[in-house]
Amino acid sequence: MIRYVGQLIVSMGRHLGEAALALLIAVTVGILYAGAGLNLPVLQLVLAIVVFQFGVASWRLFRTQQVSIATTRSLRNLDDFDRVKSEQRLRAHYEHRERRLEQWHSAQVKRLIDNVADISRELTQMQDARR
């Protein structure tokens, strides 16, 4: 049970933006009601949002577990030829992804080196202009 609650909290943490947006809306509505002189039970509204977020997190965890179980079952049902084919496809996908990341990183490093060179030139020009 404790492990399940921990997984729920991790799931909520991954999607913290949704919870923050919901709480922001609740607080804004509470402030608008307070500004208008109306009495809105903000605490109950916040608690309802927290319970809703736990429900959403439990649904995400349930779906993730279902996908994991389905993947495990399908991998168990593969014969040796299909398993080798699947591994080759995964390896090719991984290698392609690694090449794309390497190209992207190389481009970023080149851009940073060019920026440093430009800044160095500008600093040198500024120092020469002072003399």
Which residues have C-beta within 8 Å of that of residue 27, sequence separation ≥ 6? Answer: 42, 46
Question: Rounded mean pLDDT of the chain?
Answer: 79
pLDDT at 86: 81
Q: For 61-98, how does the pLDDT look when each residue is reduced to its tens digit (9 = 90+)?
A: 888 888 888 888 877 777 777 778 888 998 999 999 99
In angstroms, the CA 7 to CA 27 distance is 27
What SS3 class is residue 58? Answer: helix
| Domain residue spans of the chain | 1-77, 80-131
Token readout for 121 is: 């030139």
Please tell me the pTM assigned to this model: 0.40
